[in-house]
Amino acid sequence: MKLLIKLSKMREDIKRRLRIFLEGSKKSRKLVKTPKYITAYDPKIKRRVVHVVRNGVAVSLVTGNKFRYSKYG
């Protein structure tokens, strides 16, 4: 049981470290003014189309496909 708890803690720690490695720590990240619209690749129609950005999520205006849009530069 103890081993399981230890393993889960280790797992959480690895996740945290990996996130910092990929995205940077909270202190180092800088907020960037997000545009209302962006153009990005839509995998459903295999084409670049306009996406609307709301609450950190970009939504394709053609298919409604969503992806996370980082507020940090």
Partner 1 sequence: MVKENSEFEYLKTSLLSKEDLQKRIEKEKKKSFLSSLFIIHGYMEAILVDWFNYCGKGRPKEISDEIQKGIERIGFISFIQLHLSMGNISQELYARMKKFNTTRNDLAHGIRDINFESKKTQKGLGRNIQEGIKIYSELFDSYQKSLDKQSEKFLTDTEGKPFVLGKSKLG
Site for partner 1, rule CB under 8 A? 12, 15, 18-19, 22, 35, 37-41, 43-50, 52, 54-69
CA distances from 51 to 13, 31, 45, 63, 71 (A): 34, 20, 13, 10, 15
In whole angstroms, how close is the CB of 63 to partner 1 at the nearest point?
A: 6
Query: Of 6 and 8, which has the nearer Cβ to partner 1?
Result: 8
Measured CA to CA, the distance from residue 56 to residue 73 in angstroms comes to 13
To which residue do tokens 């084409």 refer? 47
Query: Of 6 and 47, which has the nearer Cβ to partner 1?
Result: 47
In whole angstroms, how close is the CB of 25 to partner 1 at the nearest point?
A: 14
